[in-house]
Amino acid sequence: MDEQMWTYLWVGLTFATYIGIAIWARAGSTNDFYVAGHGVHPVVNGMATAADWMSAASFLSMAGLIAILGYGGSVYLMGWTGGYVLLALLLAPYLREFGKFTVPDFVGDRYYSGIARFVAVLCALFVSFTYIAGQMSGVGIAFSRFLGVDFNTGIFVGMFIVFIYAVLGGMKGVTYTQVAQYVVLIFAYTVPAIFISLMLTGNPIPQLGFISDVKGEDISMLAKLNETVTALGFNEYTSTKTSVLNVACITAALMFGTAGLPHVIVRFFTVPRASDARLSAGWALVFIAALYTVAPAVGAFSRLNVIDTVNDTVYIGQDEDYAARAAEIEAQGQTPSPEWFNRWEVTKLVGFNDVNDDGIMQIRGPNAPDGLANEVTINNDIAVLASPEIAQLPGWVIGLVVAGGLAAALSTAAGLLMVIASAISHDLCRRTFFKGMNDVTELRIARVAAAGAVVAAGFMGIYSAKLAFVAQVVAFAFGLAAASLFPVIFLGIFWKRMNREGAIASMVTGLVPTFAYIWHFTVGFSYFGIDKGVEADWLFGVSPQGIGFVFMILASIVGIVVSLVTKAPPQDIQDLVEDIRVPGTRRAHGIADAGMAPAE
Amino acid sequence: MTDHDDYVAESSRHPEWKAYWKATVTLTLTLLVIWFAVSFGAGILFRDALDALSIGGAPLGFWFAQQGSIYTFMVLIFVYCFRMNALERKYGIKG
């Protein structure tokens, strides 16, 4: 059986499983649909959160990004895990104790304001749509590259699958499919990593291989990598030229952004109690770390492997017979380019441009001692996608990696869909415009909203190449979540005096400048005749990815000052805040709970 | 009696709620100091100094940024869960 068949088999099998789970886990009430009936076991929720969290980018691109950035890639590793400490300690248990369905529920009820709820809905929708477009285009790419299916058709297949389990099962269906998707993706990620670690360092555990000596040599893997890359004119792998302030700001923006992302927060509404919410965050991080501590090893191994096997080899083109030509080159005492390079060249994820016309592939950095130009381009996704072939693993593993990438993309897309659907059916319809709506009607609207969101997400995926902001998902989603949502949620729990006026001022202060800054430096307001910003103009030298943290500080200060100069929140609200701080003491409090009673 | 009067009456019968919250905040702050120290401290601010040391050939600051901080984060959350459960038992809170 060849790789193509294995890929079809794995993708078919995993998709059938997801649909099976969807039919089993149908939602019967809004409580089921939005928060899986508050009945998910903390370990199960931890696993679902991990799948929800790890997107197509975490699975396919992160290791390759670290391979290129070296130390600079640490911002993603620390940022996307450290946020869970903030979630567990500062938000998740309290929000669970608060006992409603969505993030705008908390903002709207805690700050007794429809405007505050509406601003929170806007933040949640923008963040989620930006994020989901990337997932859908990831699905399209996976189908078009590996299954020979047209990009748009691939997106339609993905839409169909998510449609079934999100519309039928709501959060309940999504939760249990995410568990299955986690199993698929973690298996697909670690199997090749283990074999590569064995091959390179003799240690089967990638995290240990990362700090071991190169197999058969008396030099550590990272020291050898540093030597190899500096000899070719790249920066040292284990250090960076980026400023400390910028690295710290990006890390902080990713951490606080993680803690403020609605699709992550709502996962902690699905467990039975506040104590389960914090435990669940711990398990989520364990399941996430299973991939995130392997990723830097995969990145370093692949950087070393690619240079070792590709640099200074004789290129074999697509029009030549690989085996015959390779034997011929070896007979001349030279090294042929590796077979995986030849095979992946078709997908355009790797490329060779023979600048000096010598037929030899030179990989060179910006300061190459021999002055040669770089001739080889390697896409970030290659570190993960080609790893089974580099490690010479059988065809079934390669198919598994594709199924893993799809699992990562679909699970994240589904989690985001639930946020979008609930923002429309619950926050806008039930809580803002049609307050008398009953549960049956709301559930029906929730399904329609989920269906509509699937279609909208699919079209955003199809047109993602034309939507410039989609490529900046890291800056937009995390920056906006950190600057606009984190301060009002955090202060709403830890500072009783925070009031409606402060909350609205804080969200607007976080949202508008962050959005404008990122847009100006990544997309550009050319429509208004303003040139796109350049790096030299960065505020304090902080990149768009890190600016969310700067404006988060500003938004918090504005929120506090405005609260202090305006009237204290009503007594009901202050009593409510006291309640959510002590598990099991939550009672209904007048204006905070008039629109919707808290869960038991 | 208003809702609020009821509320005050019940809260005054439970002085342990205030003590529990105070202990929670202290624990949270302590753990966040460690959270900051391993990531922003060891992994970013003092990386250069720590890189003089090494763990299995990996410069220590670099290792903290790509591995050590993540392991510490996991430990921190489970310590938090464990200590919070203990606090809830101590103050008779059902959790």
Q: Which of A81, A86, A210 sits opposite B70 (nearest CB)?
A: A81
List the structure tokens of A15.
Answer: 């998709």
**Does residue B87 register a pLDDT over 80?**
yes
* A590 backbone φψ class: left, alpha, beta (φ>0; ψ -120 to 50): left
Q: How buried is A89 (Cβ within 10 angstroms: 0-12 exposed, 13-18 middle, 19+ buried)?
A: buried
Q: Is A572 part of the contact surface with chain B (CB cutoff 8 Å)?
A: yes
pLDDT score, position A558: 97
Record: contact B32-A581, CB cut-off 8 A: no
Higher pLDDT, B7 or B33: B33
> Lowest-confidence range among A51-65, A375-389, A582-596?
A582-596
For residues A333-361, give the mean pLDDT.
88
Q: Which residue is listed with tokens 């949640």?
A: A124
Residues A22, A26, A30, A35: what is their CA dihedral angle, to the nearest 10 degrees?
A: -50
Sort strands A376-378 and A350-352 into parallel, antiparallel or unpaired: antiparallel
Strands A360-361, B54-55: parallel, antiparallel or unpaired by DSSP? unpaired
Residue from the list A88, A223, A585 with its beta carbon closest to the beta carbon of B77: A88
- Whether residues A275 and B84 touch (CB distance < 8 A) is answered with yes
| DSSP code at position A597 | P
| Cα A459 to Cα A164: distance, rounded to the nearest angstrom | 17
Residue A361 is classified by DSSP as E
Q: CATH topology for A3-301+395-593?
A: Sodium/glucose cotransporter (1.20.1730)
ipTM of the complex: 0.94
Taking the C-alpha atoms of residue A464 and residue A442, their distance in angstroms, rounded to an integer, is 31
**What's the mean pLDDT in A327-341?**
90
Q: From the list B45, B59, B73, which residue is nearest A85 (CB)?
A: B73
Mutate which: B53, B81, B82, vs A, most A CBs within 10 A: B81
What is the three-state SS of A278-323?
Answer: HHHHHHHHHHHHHHHCCHHHHHHHHHHHHHHHHCCEECCCCCCCHH
Average pLDDT over residues A329-351: 88
Of A322, A405, A395, nearest to A4 by C-alpha is A395
Q: How far is A158 from chain B (nearest CA, A)?
A: 32
A299 vs A133, more confident:
A299
Question: Using the beta-carbon criterion (under 8 Å), do A223 and B24 form an inter-chain contact?
Answer: no
Residue A427's pLDDT band, with cuts at 50, 70 and 90, is: confident
What's the mean per-residue pLDDT of chain B?
89
Look at residue A1 and tell me whether its pLDDT is greater than 80.
no
| Total H helices, total E strands in chain B | 5, 2
Whether the pLDDT of residue B7 is over 80: the answer is no
From the number of C-beta atoms within 10 Å of its C-beta (0-12, 13-18, 19+), residue A389 rates as buried
Contact present, B62 and B54 (Cβ < 8 Å) = no
Of A33-37, A420-424, A472-476, which has the strongest mean pLDDT? A420-424
Tokens of B23: 């202990």
pLDDT of amino acid B1: 47
Q: A413: number of CA atoms within 13 Å, CB side?
A: 38
Q: Mean pLDDT over residues A446-473, rounded?
A: 81
* Pairwise CA distance, residues A489 & A307, whole Å: 47
Percent of chain A with pLDDT over 90: 40
Nearest CB partner across the interface for B17, out of A285, A585, A590: A585
Q: Residue A47: what pLDDT? A: 94
pTM strictly above 0.90? yes
* Per-domain boundaries in chain A: 3-301+395-593, 312-361
Please write the tens of the pLDDT for every residue from A54-79: 988 888 888 988 998 999 999 999 99
Average pLDDT for residues A299-314, to the nearest whole number? 91
Q: Which residue has the tokens 């189908």?
A: A143
Burial classification of residue A228, based on how many CB atoms lie within 10 Å of its CB (0-12 exposed, 13-18 middle, 19 or more buried): middle
- Model confidence at A477, pLDDT cuts 50, 70, 90, reads confident
Q: How many CB atoms lie within 10 A of CB A187?
A: 15
pLDDT of A470 strictly over 70: no
**Using 50, 70 and 90 to split pLDDT, how confident is the model at A361?**
very high
Q: Which of residues 57-76 of A touch B (CB under 8 A)?
A: 66, 71, 73-74
Segment of A48-52, A465-469, A588-592 carrying the highest mean pLDDT: A48-52
Question: In this complex, which of A77, A583, A584 lies closest to B70 when CB atoms are compared?
Answer: A77
Mean pLDDT for chain A overall: 88
- For residue A67, the chain B residues in CB contact (below 8 A) are none
What confidence score (pLDDT) does residue A584 get?
Answer: 82
| pLDDT at A420 exceeding the cut of 70 | yes
Query: How does residue A469 score in pLDDT terms, banded at 50, 70 and 90?
Result: low
| 8 Å CB contact of B81 and A587 | no
pLDDT at position B35: 96
Q: Note whether A572 contacts B4, CB cutoff 8 Å.
A: yes
CB contacts, 8 Å: A273 with chain B: 95
Counting one residue from chain A and one from chain B, the pairs whose CB atoms sit within 8 A come to 148
- Other CB atoms within a 10 A radius of the CB of residue B22 amount to 10
List pLDDT tens digits, range A136-189.
888 887 777 777 778 888 888 888 888 888 888 888 888 999 999 999 999 999
Average pLDDT of the residues in A217-223: 89
- Quote the tokens at residue A249: 């700001």
